[in-house]
Structures are given as C-alpha cells and as structure tokens.
Structure 1
Amino acid sequence: MNIDTNMSTIITASALDGNGALYSRAKERAITRGAYTSRAPLLLRRLRLLLAPAKLRLLLGFCVFCVVVFVTSRLRYLMGWIPHDPSSVSSSSRGGYTVLINTWKRNSLLKQAVAHYASCSGTDAIHVVWSENDPPSDSLKIFLKKMVLSYSQTIHKPNFKFDINEEDNLNNRFKPIKDLSTDAIFSVDDDVIVPCSTLDFAFTVWQSAPFTMVGFVPRMHWLDKERNGLAYYKYGGWWSVWWMGTYSMVLSKAAFFHRKYLDFYTYEMSPTIHDYVTSERNCEDIAMSLLIANSTGAPPIWVKGKIYETGSTGISSMKGHSNRRNKCLNDFISLYGKMPLVSTNVKAVDARQEWFW
C-alpha cells in the first residue's frame, strides 16, 4: 500500500510541469513550434485576411499579362500574316537596294562600312562616292571587292564600284548612277552603321511610299518671325525634334529615296543651289529634302531605329553651324518661292521589336 502511494506520487509529480500544469510531449512540441505563444494582435490578423485576396489578384494579373504578351507575339501568325523574311528583300524580283556611301579620306571607316553593308541581305549593290584629288589605290579596290565577296551572306553577291569624281564637291553624292538594277537608293555617310535588320525594315517602309524620303535622322523647321515682310525660318536639330515632337526632314546621311531624285537633283534642280552647296560646302542634305518635298507635296518618314556613328564629331559641332543651316534653309526657300517642307509627327516603328504596341 505504501509502495502504490509512493508510485502515484512520483507519477503525479513527473506529469506536472513547472507551473503545475499537466505535462505532455505533444504540448512540449507545440510550444517549440510556437503554437502556444501569444496570439497576434487583431489588427495584424485582419491585415493578413485583406492581403490574401490581393496576393491572389496580383498572381492572376501576372498570369494574364504573360498570356497577353505571348498571344500578341504570335498574333501575326494566328491572323495569317507573316512578316517578310530578311531574305525576301534580296530576291531579284524585289530589286533590293543600292547602298550609296559618301566618303572622304577615311579609308578605315570606309572599309568598316563596306563590310557591314555587304553583309545585309537586301544589298544589291554598293557604290562609293569618291571625291578626293587622288583616285583610290588598286590595293584598296582589290581589298574592298574581296571584302564584299567574303562578307555577303547571299547567293547573289552585291556589285561593288567606285564612282570617281575629279573635284571635291558635296553635289557629287547625288550624281546619277548608270546601270542601276534597283529603284531604291540608301544614301549613307561612311561613318554611319545601320544594323541590317533595321535597314531591311526601313526598306519595307520605303516600299510602301517609294517616292518619299525614308530615313533615320529627323530634322525640323519652324517659322521664327518675319523680316521685311518675308517669313524667316529656323532649322531645328535633334533636340528640337525631341522637344516639339515633329519633323519635316530626314537627312541623307542615312536615308532611302528613289533613284529618279539623283536625276532631278543634277539636271532639274536650280543650278544656283548647286553653286551654293559648292561654295558653302554644306546643306546638300537640306537641298535634297526640299527637292523631294517639292516633288511629292508630302512629308518624309522617320524610321525609329538605333544607328551607330563610328567617326569623330562632324561639322554639326562646329561654331556657327546652326546659323549656317538657318541661312541655307531660308536662301533655298527664297529660290523656290515657297516653303516645300511638310511637317509630320508620324514615325515608323517595327512592332516586333517593341514590348507594347
């Protein structure tokens, strides 16, 4: 009897914890996990209840966004529209384009430009406008021809030729070219590189409006004031375009136009403008923009795309450049007797390269 009583006392003592409460292993594990810690404040519990649906909505919204991005990226195929494959612009039936490179005493940049444009599938021919006193060396000719053959990715290798001029004159870049097999001319400076995919997209834009000018470097004009009863216009650079959201020119340093404008520039444009460009050594690009606008009565088309300038800072950074461009613009307009330029705020964008339409 005493033994049973003692055992009962031992069991009872071991079953009680330090606070006198009944002890169990389950309770000990629960305490370890925090199940018996103090409850969270009421406000915190309500906040969790409110956030749970918000998290669910956020997750569902993200899933919907992913589906929309996927569907829009495939929509052109679902609707039966497949964009031009880059190889399609180089087929003989489409003609491709002739790259017209203007260069002057920068052979290293010329080599880089020729190699790059030879690699573009739409390039049918490459012509280099050479206006230096000495003709290109035989070694340079051979080197560039070999470069064209090695860098071209198409079965039809681009034709390559130097268009040699006897005098240094900016009008040379717009002389007519014999035996062209394309209507499209891509005029470019030797220090400007346009990625092939961007160039081919611009070519498809030009095909939709082949008699306007399609390019990558927009500029603008605006009426400043009247002087002696005559309108006076100002020439605006890139920052003016960015600020105003409008443009009326694209520069020929990187632009497509129809080959007929080479004839128009040389044979039909006022000789006074030729003489002006020769004496000023500037503004041939403004002259071409005015010529095409006067012919079409329509604005040019700016193609949004990344281009790379590999040369040093050009004449646009020289002191007095803006004043000279203003003077060119107004002198040319006075010869036309009107303002041919048409302003626009439209730009062509390759939607396949954009996140949002």
Structure 2
Amino acid sequence: MSTLIAIREGSLNGNGGDCSPAKLKASNRGRLAVLHRRLLLLVGGAMFNLMLLFFILGSLYTLSSRISPLMGWHPDYPSFVVSGNRSGYTVLINTWKRYSLLKQSVAHYSSCRGVDAVHVVWSETHPPSHQLRECLANVVRQNSRADEKPHLRFNLNQEDNLNNRFKPIVDLRTDAIFSVDDDVIVPCDTLDFAFAVWKTAPSTMVGFVPRMHWLDNKKDGEVHYSYGGWWSVWWTGTYSMVLSKAAFFHNKYLEMYTNQTPSSVHHYVTRERNCEDIAMSFVVANATGAPPVWVKGKIYEIGSSGISSLSEHDYKRNKCLNDFASLFGTMPLISSNAKAVNAMAEWLW
C-alpha cells in the first residue's frame, strides 16, 4: 500500500506528470465514464429490486389465494359474513308494477349469503298472480347459494300507500331489516359489509344514500330547515340521514313507525305521497338521539328515474323536513362526518 502512494506522489512532482492539460482532460473523461457506469448500475439495481419486490408480492398473493381456501379463509368473501341464515338479515323490497325490475332484484338478493328472507311489499289493488309467485319462487331456488334457501314472502296491502313499506311483519325471523327499492342493487359483498357495520350499532340506521338537513335563517321568528341532497353531502362531508331506499335498521322500528308515530305523520305521507324515508329517519333519530352511519359502497339503479327527478322534488323535501319537525315537536336529526369503509377493499387508508 505504501509503494502505491509513493508512485502517485512522485508522478505529481514530475515535469507535467498527470497535471498536463491533455492527461487531465483524458482523466476527467475516464472519471465521467466510471461515474456514468456506476449510475447505470445503481439505477439498474433499483429497478431490479423494485421488479423483484412486485414479483414477490404477486407470488405471495397468488399463493395465498390458492392456499387460504384450504385453511378456511376466502379473501374474496368477507370473513364477517354469517354462516347461518337465522342470524342473517331480511331484505324488504318495496315495489309497484315493475315486475321485470322486481324479478332482477329478487334474483340478486337471493344470491347473497347473509339473506334469511326476501319480503316484497305489495300495494297493488289485486294480489300477485300465481304465475308471478311461481316465477319468483323459482328465481330464489335457482340463485340462492345457501343450503337453506331464503324465504320468499309477499306483504299484501289493500291500498297503495307509502306507509306500507314500514308495516310490522308477523313471521319475521331476523332482527336486521335491509330496506330497499325494487330498482336498487347493492353488490352482495358490499351488503354484507354494511350488515357487519350495523351489528356494531344495531339501534341506528346504516345505509348507502346519505342526506343532510341544514338550519336556515329564521323566518318570521321560526326556525327553518333546508334539505341537502347528495351534492350537499359530497361537498361538506356531513349528513344526518340515510335513506330507506338502501338501509339497514332494526325490525323494532317497523312497529314503532306504524304504532307509535303520530298519526298526523302517517296522514301527511299518505296525502303527499312522499317523504316516508325522512319520517323513518325521524323515528330512529328520535329513539336513539344518535346519527345514522353512512357506508361507502357502490350501488346501482336499474330502473328509470323516480319521483326524485321531478321538478318540485327539492321543494317538497324541504317542506316535509319542516312539517315533520312541527308534527314531531322537535328536530331529532343528528349530523355526522363519519363514514364506514371496508379497509380490506382499500389500497390507501
């Protein structure tokens, strides 16, 4: 080692030596070439390590998807789904003369493993035909993946009335009710996740369609509220209702809505043919003093636009909100900013 140092020191003290312009330029080129090669090696090594990391992660995912079913864990099927129908939930479908949509809806929800029964709220003048009953019964048998097929029932009513969707059910076997319109489809895994969320707070409403009430300036000395639709919720991240077109609630609220809510509220819903969902939100909030829970998840509307597309819809919803506050004698709705998200389905959280 000392000999090498001596040679370098001698060369630096000679006539010109390594300090000549030509040799210095050549030396710089050589050093740049070495630096360039080292950079290439460094970048290439980083890329190789990154590719190796992705390969390892992909291999682990593939391996787990093959081995985990053998161990009783299915990554594509939520671990919180109940194994027995009796501890599942009842799907309560509100329908009105849309038989093709009803068939699609029954077919879909019959395929969800947590469903114990499917009840159809029927409010037409004539009862469902024998042909329709048999058709839907076959749909349940063909689509259900459970050993014990979900029960199919028609809740018959003699008049067309939006209050019918919240009438008590005699042969109900579950605490949990999933209330849904016949043109709304919630994927089974999303529905089962919402059911798991509901089980952590079974006294409140848990759903997919949030709405908000806002306090306006006082008019004529009275408090006035405004109804906030989806864009209001999206902009502020605040909600105080989840609509019953796609929401879980405890079956006790069917009896509470029908038999304990002021009859003036029922008459109002009957007359206006609107806002039964807001009324149910009032009932639950009044009983719990707590906000609902909004669940993040995709839902699909398979039918044409309903009453929410009419020009006076916002005006009527505002009116319902204020009239119910008067009829109930209070504004029970509580706002929230919380949203339930399935962490297993999120890349970033």
Same fold (TM over 0.5): yes
Unmatched runs of 5 consecutive residues or more in structure 2: 1-27
- The TM-score normalised by the length of structure 1 is 0.80
User: What is the Cα deviation at residue 145 of structure 1?
Assistant: 1.1
Matches within 5 A, 1:1-357: 53=42, 56-57=45-46, 60=49, 88-92=81-85, 95-357=87-349
Could you say if the C-alpha distance between residues 117 and 53 of structure 1 is closer, same or farther in structure 2, counting changes exceeding 3 Å?
Answer: same
SS at match of 1:226: coil
Which residue is 2:17 aligned to?
A: none
Q: Distance in 1 between matches of 2:213 and 2:49?
A: 49
User: What is the Cα deviation at residue 135 of structure 1?
Assistant: 1.4
Larger Rg: 1
User: What is the Cα deviation at residue 206 of structure 1?
Assistant: 0.6
Q: Distance in 1 between matches of 2:339 and 2:58?
A: 23
User: What is the Cα deviation at residue 337 of structure 1?
Assistant: 2.6
User: What is the Cα deviation at residue 45 of structure 1?
Assistant: 7.8
Kept in 2: contact 1:301–1:347 (CA 8 A): yes
Unmatched runs of 5 consecutive residues or more in structure 1: 1-38
User: What is the Cα deviation at residue 239 of structure 1?
Assistant: 0.8
Could you say if the C-alpha distance between residues 108 and 176 of structure 1 is closer, same or farther in structure 2, counting changes exceeding 3 Å?
Answer: same
User: How many equivalent residue pairs?
Assistant: 313
Which residue is 1:10 aligned to?
A: none
Q: Distance in 1 between matches of 2:341 and 2:58?
A: 18
Kept in 2: contact 1:130–1:164 (CA 8 A): yes
User: What is the Cα deviation at residue 112 of structure 1?
Assistant: 0.5
Q: Distance in 2 between matches of 1:286 and 1:41?
A: 79
Q: Distance in 2 between matches of 1:258 and 1:44?
A: 74
Could you say if the C-alpha distance between residues 48 and 333 of structure 1 is closer, same or farther in structure 2, counting changes exceeding 3 Å?
Answer: farther
Structure 1: which amino acid aligns with 2:201? Answer: A
User: What is the Cα deviation at residue 155 of structure 1?
Assistant: 0.9
Q: Distance in 2 between matches of 1:328 and 1:142?
A: 39
Q: Distance in 2 between matches of 1:356 and 1:67?
A: 20
SS at match of 2:197: helix
Q: Distance in 1 between matches of 2:201 and 2:96?
A: 31
Kept in 2: contact 1:273–1:332 (CA 8 A): yes
Q: Distance in 1 between matches of 2:135 and 2:93?
A: 16
Kept in 1: contact 2:116–2:151 (CA 8 A): yes
Q: Distance in 1 between matches of 2:341 and 2:263?
A: 37
- What percent identity do the matched residue pairs reach? 61
- The TM-score normalised by the length of structure 2 is 0.82
Structure 1: which amino acid aligns with 2:258? Answer: T
User: What is the Cα deviation at residue 353 of structure 1?
Assistant: 1.0
Q: Distance in 2 between matches of 1:97 and 1:303?
A: 17
Which residue is 2:12 aligned to?
A: none
- Note the aligned Cα RMSD (angstroms): 2.9
Q: Distance in 1 between matches of 2:290 and 2:229?
A: 20
Kept in 2: contact 1:86–1:122 (CA 8 A): no
